[in-house]
Copies of this chain bind each other. A is one copy, B any other.
Amino acid sequence: MSLRHAILVLLQDEEASGYDLAREFANSIGLVWNATHQQIYLELGKLNEQNMVHYRHVPQDGKPDKKLYRITDEGRQELVRWLRRPAAPARVRDAFMVKVAGAALADPETLLGELDQLVQQRKERLANFEAEARKLERQSEGNSRFQHLTLRRGILDQEAWLAWAEEVREVLEDTLSHQH
**Closest approach, in angstroms, between the C-beta of A75 and any C-beta of chain B?**
11
Interface size class of A (residues with CB under 8 A): 35 or more
Which of chain A's residues 125-143 have a Cβ closer than 8 Å to chain B? 142-143
A92's partner among B31, B86, B110, B146 (CB-CB below 8 A) is B31
Contact with B along A142-172 (1 / 0, CB 8 A): 1101110110110011011101100110010
Additional A-B contacts beyond A8-B102, A84-B106, A90-B93 (10; CB < 8 A) = A32-B92, A88-B95, A90-B92, A90-B96, A100-B150, A101-B146, A101-B147, A103-B146, A103-B149, A156-B161
Report A's interface with B, CB cutoff 8 A: 2, 5-6, 8-9, 12, 29, 31-34, 76, 79-80, 83-84, 86-107, 110-111, 114, 142-143, 145-147, 149-150, 152-153, 156-157, 159-161, 163-164, 167-168, 171, 175
